[in-house]
Structure 1
Amino acid sequence: MALECELKYLEADLADLADRLRRAGATTSGRYFEANTVFDRPDRSLKRDGILLRLREKQGRAVLTVKRPPEAPAPSALKIFEEIETGVDDGAAMAEALETLGFAPAFRYEKVREKWRHMDCAVCLDRLPFGDFVEIEGDEAQVLACAAWLGLNAACTTKATYHGLNIEYRVEKGLEPDENFVFGSAERAALLDELDKL
């Protein structure tokens, strides 16, 4: 089982960071739209145990992911999960299979991601309905060195999930509780139109 080691940076200027990465010769897989559904048992026992079961649709493909905390976690500045991930031929069939097994959609979320490779790290420039973020994956020394090179503020980091950040955002803004974070229909259409023109 692979380890996913990452740290999120807040208050990101995505256009500036993409320009800096481009000028440095970093490679990118381009910008794309993601639609994610997180599944859980009706009693939310997966969430209680720190396990994520997610079906993601991106670029015409579906990916099933399971994340869980490591059995023997070591102290780290990064968020670390054990991760199993596999491609799925038919996202709708997989969703139906999960529901047949007793899992149900717990919440949905969307984002636009631009993924880069730089300094042995994956640098993800993420636009979500409630803000822009940078997620850097790699080992701890590489992540911190890459973030410093990008000029990211070391005081503006979090190990929180986007789910947790959405909940915090809604509380701070005095909004009704809602675990879902998806773009409004007009904003989604504009984003998809913009991506189609790339």
Structure 2
Amino acid sequence: MPCVSTNVFVRRTPTEVFDFLADARNLALWSSGVSSVEPGYVEPGVDAVYRYRFPGRRRSHRLVCADFEPGRRIAFRGQRMWGPLGTQVPFYGFDLLPHADGTMVRLSVTSSLSAALVLLAPLVAMAWRRDLPADGLKFRDLLGEGRAAAESLAAATAGGAETAAPAPAEEADVPAATPMRASSAPTGFDYAH
């Protein structure tokens, strides 16, 4: 059962970060383990059920909120996926810790494997060790880690070939003024929708 984690610092309050993570639709914006989540609103909380697509899969699977501690921890468990070599159940965990002027977030992925896939556990772990740090940086940039990061993310989103010029050193320490849209959700923000 490979388990991989990484830490990332975000210049947002734990409440803001938690509200972003509590809406599983936002996972598709930054996580390499989620290619899409159905757009309908689901009330965040334990046992909230979403429909998502795991990369490389044609049909959607269930994604269930398995742990929900506002401002501290949230986790999602994917549905068991069958393949020729066995089954896989992904588990995405997020632990939040207030830190200085933001939040330290531990992103973790655990893959429960069965049958012959157990023999491939080192390869699964290697893939997550490669992808999870990049996912963490994308997550940090999406939540506005700095002006240069926000500008380059906007340029990448626009599909332009040009890259944003790096901000001067004194501006790089200033959190970007990223738009945050209030949602109809009682817990706060709805970034993606």
What TM bracket, shorter-length normalisation? Answer: 0.3 to 0.5
Structure with the larger RCO, 1 or 2 (CA within 8 Å, 6+ apart): 1
Greater strand fraction, Structure 1 or Structure 2: 1
Structure 2-normalised TM-score?
0.33
